[in-house]
């Protein structure tokens, strides 16, 4: 499977600095690219988590697509950014989040069959695609190995970030390669061998 995913987080910054840079991004001022997604301010995170609890995020952004997400990251290098998918089992403190939450589920949800032959197939799944949807998509195309994803209550991006699994299978066992976007907004292609993958844990390998 192939996905866009980002799970880095910067240090906290002051709310006034965040507001200033967000205004620049939306208008294209200061030489920054204009964002095409949806920006919300003082957004209740209780609307976006399975626990239906949590305070407000200073800003909540739904990127239009991967390029828009890249522009956001490139134009907000000093902001604190937290990326979410479905918000499953995500507990947000009552004090909220002093920074920007980026929601991938609404837009980065491309799902398609790249190739299929007698030995199997390859599915492209964006970071915002629900895991259960990938399981159903694979079944419709007679591809085995992704059935366990039906039991994962989250998105592909989150499953990759923590190596989610159940019923004796894990996400990274069926990954061919991943397309990632780093904190600088650059898109890269990586192989599973470039990561240190353990039980519910994924990190960049020391040699990468």
pLDDT tens-digit profile of 48-107?
A: 999 999 999 999 999 999 999 999 999 988 889 999 999 998 999 999 999 999 999 978
Q: Are residues 148 and 62 in the same domain?
A: no
Query: How many domains, in total, are found in the chain?
Result: 2
* Residue 6, pLDDT above cutoff 70: no
Q: What is the CATH number for 77?
A: 3.30.43.10
Closest Cα partner for 140 from 171, 112, 119, 160? 112
Q: Are residues 132 and 199 in the same domain?
A: yes
Q: Are residues 125 and 89 in the same domain?
A: no
Q: Are residues 127 and 90 in the same domain?
A: no
Closest Cα partner for 99 from 84, 116, 114, 121? 84
Q: Are residues 81 and 9 in the same domain?
A: yes
Q: What is the CATH number for 115?
A: 3.30.465.10
**Whole-number pLDDT of residue 8:** 32
How much is the pTM? 0.82
Single out the residue in 103, 132, 160 at which a domain terminates: 103
Single out the residue in 103, 126, 152 at which a domain terminates: 103
Q: Are residues 91 and 120 in the same domain?
A: no
Q: Which residues contact residue 21 at a Cβ distance below 8 angstroms, ignoring those fewer than 6 apart?
A: 75, 76, 78, 79
Q: Give the domain extent around 94.
A: 4-103
């Amino acid at each position: 499977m192939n996905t866009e995913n980002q799970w880095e987080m910067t240090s906290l910054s002051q709310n006034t600095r965040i507001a200033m840079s967000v205004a620049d991004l939306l208008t294209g001022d200061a030489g920054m690219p204009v964002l095409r997604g949806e920006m919300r301010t003082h957004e209740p995170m209780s609307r976006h988590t399975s626990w239906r609890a949590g305070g407000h995020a200073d800003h909540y952004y739904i990127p239009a697509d991967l390029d828009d997400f890249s522009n956001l990251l490139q134009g907000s290098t000093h902001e604190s950014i937290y990326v979410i998918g479905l918000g499953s089992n995500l507990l947000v403190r009552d004090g909220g989040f002093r920074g920007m939450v980026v929601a991938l589920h609404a837009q980065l949800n491309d799902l398609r069959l790249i190739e299929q032959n007698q030995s199997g197939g390859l599915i492209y799944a964006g970071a915002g695609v629900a895991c259960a949807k990938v399981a159903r998509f694979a079944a419709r195309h007679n591809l085995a190995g992704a059935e366990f994803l039906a039991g994962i209550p989250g998105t592909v991006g989150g499953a990759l970030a923590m190596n989610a699994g159940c019923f004796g299978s894990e996400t990274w066992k069926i990954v061919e390669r991943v397309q990632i976007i780093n904190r600088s907004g650059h898109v890269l292609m990586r192989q599973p061998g470039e990561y240190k993958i353990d039980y519910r844990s994924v990190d960049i390998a020391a040699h990468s």
